[in-house]
């Protein structure tokens, strides 16, 4: 069964450093998302991406965040200058169309020290 895959599974970075989280969505899906989950809390929407551009973003997704689809398969989330409060599990998700359920990757646990 096709799956969304994410790398790395765990990333530790120093405050102020840039990180790039990588995702390979399910191949025939058209909509891509990043969500984050702070430990023990709910899953929060960051950004959605369709047709090579951002379609919606949340208040969390400020100028420090960017997304890119550099080729036909990868979908990346970059955090330019990490803060302690960016520590969370980051989930990539994809869906075949708008208004459908999304399928989640296994997540990248980002720890900012």
Partner 1 sequence: GENVEQHPSTLSVQEGDSAVIKCTYSDSASNYFPWYKQELGKRPQLIIDIRSNVGEKKDQRIAVTLNKTAKHFSLHITETQPEDSAVYFCAAVLEKLTFGTGTRLTIIP
By CB atoms closer than 10 A (0-12, 13-18, 19+), residue 13 is middle
CA-CA distance, 90 to 92, in Å (whole number)? Answer: 7
Asked if 42 touches partner 1 (CB under 8 A), the answer is yes
CB of 6 to partner 1, least distance (A): 9
Pick the binder of partner 1 from 21, 102, 110, 112 (CB under 8 A): 102
CA-CA distance, 21 to 102, in Å (whole number)? Answer: 18
Asked if 24 touches partner 1 (CB under 8 A), the answer is no
Pick the binder of partner 1 from 91, 94, 110, 112 (CB under 8 A): 91
Asked if 33 touches partner 1 (CB under 8 A), the answer is yes
């Amino acid at each position: 069964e096709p799956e969304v895959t994410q790398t790395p599974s765990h990333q530790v970075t120093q405050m102020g450093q840039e990180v790039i989280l990588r995702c390979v969505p399910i191949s025939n899906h058209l909509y891509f998302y990043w969500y984050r989950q702070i430990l023990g809390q709910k899953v929060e929407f960051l950004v959605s991406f369709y047709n090579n551009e951002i379609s919606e973003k949340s208040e969390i997704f400020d100028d420090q965040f960017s997304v890119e689809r550099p080729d036909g398969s990868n979908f990346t989330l970059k955090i330019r200058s990490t803060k302690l409060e960016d520590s969370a599990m980051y989930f990539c998700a994809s869906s075949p169309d708008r208004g459908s359920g999304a399928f989640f990757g296994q997540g990248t646990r980002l720890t900012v020290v």
